[in-house]
Amino acid sequence: MEQDENDIVLVERVQNGDKQAFNLLVEKYQFRIKHLVSRFVKDSHEQEDIVQESFIKAYRAISRFRGDSAFYTWLYRIAVNTSKNYLVAMSRRPPAQDVIADEMVHSRGAERLVESNSPEQIAQNDQLVEAIKQSISALPEELKQAIQLREFDGLSYEDIAVAMNCPIGTVRSRIFRAREAIEQAIADLVE
């Protein structure tokens, strides 16, 4: 996994005593971490506790993060260990697939492969996520394509410009307009 430059800047700030910078990392990664934790623990409240504990543990250990791996990879390990410890404490056996999960961290999007969306979970999918999904599918085609090339395929603006045969400035504005439209569509759901 390649280093995210924003993460590097933020982690350095945290290591220099800037606690506030850590909150940006929490806001950025909380959903992904919770998604990860949900593969170990099914109860939503328990997941929330583990997510919070994982971030606090990461903060306490931040001086030990030296950028040898991506920040998310490091955070991922902490969350996996916190989940496993939780299961041990609850004397429940960790699911067998956690081994696979460990192996999977380096490939982008690989978490989908071990996702086990039960019907109940899908039913539980909360409004916010649903609203985002809906507003994405309601986007004009060129905006949808631009943001998917960026977020799903991980292409740079330059590559997207080639793929969509348009100037980079147009890519930048399409992606932003897509995000802006989605944010507006879900504004009522975000407090």
- In angstroms, the CA 22 to CA 41 distance is 25
* From 38, 76, 82, 87, residue interacting with other proteins (rule: CB under 8 A): 38
- CA 56 to centroid of chain Cα atoms: 17
* From 1, 88, 90, 128, residue interacting with other proteins (rule: CB under 8 A): 128
82 near other proteins, rule: CB under 8 A: no
What does residue 42 show for φ and ψ, rounded to 5 degrees?
Answer: -85, -30
Cα dist. 117→112, 133, 152 in Å? 10, 16, 20
- In angstroms, the CA 162 to CA 72 distance is 29
Q: Is residue 178 within 8 Å of residue 143, measured between CB atoms?
A: yes
148 near other proteins, rule: CB under 8 A: yes
139 near other proteins, rule: CB under 8 A: no
* From 92, 140, 162, 183, residue interacting with other proteins (rule: CB under 8 A): 183
Interaction pattern, residues 93-112, with other proteins; x per rule: CB under 8 A: ----------------x-xx
Minimum separation from the CB atom of position 117 to other proteins (A): 8
34 near other proteins, rule: CB under 8 A: yes
| Cβ-based nearer residue to other proteins, 99 or 129 | 129
Q: Is residue 164 within 8 Å of residue 158, measured between CB atoms?
A: no
| Cβ-based nearer residue to other proteins, 84 or 132 | 132
Q: Is residue 10 within 8 Å of residue 21, measured between CB atoms?
A: yes
Q: At what angle do helices 19-37 and 71-89 cross, to 10 degrees?
A: 60
14 near other proteins, rule: CB under 8 A: yes
Binding-site residue total for other proteins (CB under 8 A)? Answer: 77
121 near other proteins, rule: CB under 8 A: yes
Minimum separation from the CB atom of position 97 to other proteins (A): 16
Cα dist. 86→59, 98, 130, 131 in Å? 19, 14, 30, 32
Could you say which residues in the range 153-182 bind other proteins, by CB under 8 A? 156-157, 172-173, 175-176, 179-180, 182
60 near other proteins, rule: CB under 8 A: yes
